[in-house]
Amino acid sequence: MGFVIATVQNQTMNIELTSVLLIGAVMFVCGVVCMATKRNAVGILIGAELVLNASNLNFVAFAYYTPFGIDGQAFALFGIVLPAAEAAIALAIILNFYNNHMTVDVDRADELKQ
Amino acid sequence: MQRLVDSLIGSWPQMLFAIMALTTVGCSIAVVVTQNIVRAAVWLLFTLTGTAGLFFLLGADFVGATQLLIYVGGTLILVIFGVMLTARGPFVQMKTQSGEWTMAAVVGLVLFGLLSYSILSTGWVKVVQKQSIEISEENSPTTTQLGMQFLGVPPQGSLVKRDPAGIGYLLPFEIVSVHLLVVMIGAAYLARAKRRKRAEV
C-alpha cells in the first residue's frame, strides 16, 4: 500500500515537472522566434531575455524536483545576473549604432564602419 | 460548505500554478506576436513577473525575489530606456514580412515539437524523488544555503555527498563580480556622449 501511495505521488510530481518544463519550452521557442522575426534591435534583445529566462525556469524546476540540493538555484542566480550585464552591453551597442546610423533596423547593420 | 473550503484551501497551489503558468505562456506569446516594440517590452514585464511567481511556487524564494529586483526592476528598465531613446517614428512599429513570419512560425513549431516530444517521452520518475519536496520545505528560507554556497562553505543536509575540500561557488561568484565591473566600465565607454561625431554628421 505504501508503495502504491509513493507511486501515485511520484506520478503527480512527474506531471508537475513536465508542465514546468513545457512552460520553459514555450518561452524558449517564443524567444527564438522573437529573435528571428523582430527587426528592431531592442526586440532581439527582448527575445534573448526570454530564452535566458526559460533556462532559469528549468534550473529552478530541477532544483525543486531532484535530490541535488539547491545547485540549480545557484545557477539560476548566475543566470539572472549575467543577462543583466548582457543587456547593459547590448543597449550600449544599440545606442552607439543608433547614434551613428540614425536607425535601429538590424537589416541595415551590415557594415562594421560608417 | 466546510469541505468546499477545505478543498479550496488544499488546491490553492495548483490554482496559483495555473494562473502563473497561463500568465507566463500567454504573455511570452504576446511578446512575439505584437509589432509594437513598446508593447513587447510591457508583455515581457508580465512574463518575467509570472516567472518570478513560478519561482516562488517552486520553493526558490531568494531566486524569485532576485528575479523581481534585478530582472523586472533593473534589466527591464534598461530595455524600456533603450526603447525610449531609440523610438522615433517608424522604429516603434517595424513590420516583419509575411514570408519571414511563415519561416519563423514553421521553425518555431518544429522546435517546440522536438522539445515537447523529448520532455514528454523522458521517464522523469527515475530523476524525481520523494524527498525533494520535504527538503525544500524544511530548508524553507533558501538564503542561508545559497549564501553559504557562494562563500564556499559546503552545504549541510544535501542528499549528494560532496567533496569536503570543494569550494562551492566561490570562484564563479568572484568571476561574476569582476565581470560586472568590467561590463559597467565597458558600457559606460561604449555609450559615452560623442560630441565631435555628432558635429560631423
The DSSP string of B132-195 is HHHHHHHT--THHHHHHHHTTPPPSS-SS---TT--TTHHHHHHHHHHHHHHHHHHHHHT---H
Check B83 against A66: CB less than 8 A apart: no
Helix/strand/coil (H, E, C) string of B39-98?
HHHHHHHHHHHHHHHHHHHCCCHHHHHHHHHHHHHHHHHHHHHHHHHHCCHHHCECCCCH
Q: Give the side-chain half-sphere CA count within 13 A for B107.
A: 16
Who has greater pLDDT, B159 or B85? Answer: B85
Tell me the C-alpha to C-alpha distance, in Å, between residue B195 and each of A88, A95, A99, A104, B33: 22, 14, 11, 20, 38
Residue A105, strand partner residues: A40
pLDDT given at position B139: 59
A82: distance to nearest CA of chain B, Å? Answer: 8
Of B79, B85, B130, which has the smallest distance from its Cβ to A87's Cβ?
B79
Distance CA B55, CA B68 (A): 10
Check A14 against B169: CB less than 8 A apart: no
Q: Is the pLDDT of residue A7 over 50?
A: no
Mean pLDDT of chain B: 81
pLDDT given at position B129: 59
pLDDT tier at A4 (50, 70, 90 boundaries)? very low
Give the total residue count for chain A.
Answer: 114
pLDDT given at position A56: 94
A1: distance to nearest CA of chain B, Å? Answer: 16
Q: At what angle do helices A41-65 and B131-138 cross, to 10 degrees?
A: 100
Q: Is the pLDDT of residue B19 over 60?
A: yes
- For residues B104 and B62, the answer to whether their CB atoms sit within 8 Å is no
- For residues B115 and A29, the answer to whether their CB atoms sit within 8 Å is yes
pLDDT tier at A111 (50, 70, 90 boundaries)? confident
pLDDT given at position A101: 79
Which amino acid type is present at position B1? M
Who has greater pLDDT, A36 or B157? Answer: A36
Distance CA B99, CA B105 (A): 10
Testing the interface with A: which of B80, B83, B86, B136 to mutate, by most A Cβ within 10 A?
B86
Give the total residue count for chain B.
Answer: 201
Distance CA B37, CA A43 (A): 6
pLDDT tier at B74 (50, 70, 90 boundaries)? confident
Check A39 against B96: CB less than 8 A apart: yes
User: Which grid cell sits at B17?
Assistant: 500554478
Q: Which domains does chain A have, with CATH numbers?
A: 2-108 (1.10.287.3510)
Check B91 against A22: CB less than 8 A apart: no
**If you average pLDDT over residues A5-28, what whole number do you get?**
69
Q: How many CB atoms lie within 10 A of CB A24?
A: 24
Residue that the C-alpha cell 505584437 belongs to: B34
Who has greater pLDDT, B171 or B153? Answer: B171
Who has greater pLDDT, A37 or A14? Answer: A37
Cβ-Cβ contacts under 8 Å for B138 (sequence gap 6 or more):
none
A29: distance to nearest CA of chain B, Å? Answer: 6
Q: Is the pLDDT of residue A44 over 80?
A: yes
Q: Is the pLDDT of residue B91 over 80?
A: no
Q: Is the pLDDT of residue B15 over 70?
A: yes
pLDDT given at position A67: 73
Tell me the C-alpha to C-alpha distance, in Å, between residue B98 and each of A31, A52, A67, B153: 19, 27, 47, 55
| A91: enclosing H helix or E strand | helix A71-101
pLDDT given at position A11: 42
Q: Which pTM was predicted?
A: 0.83
Distance CA A34, CA B31 (A): 8
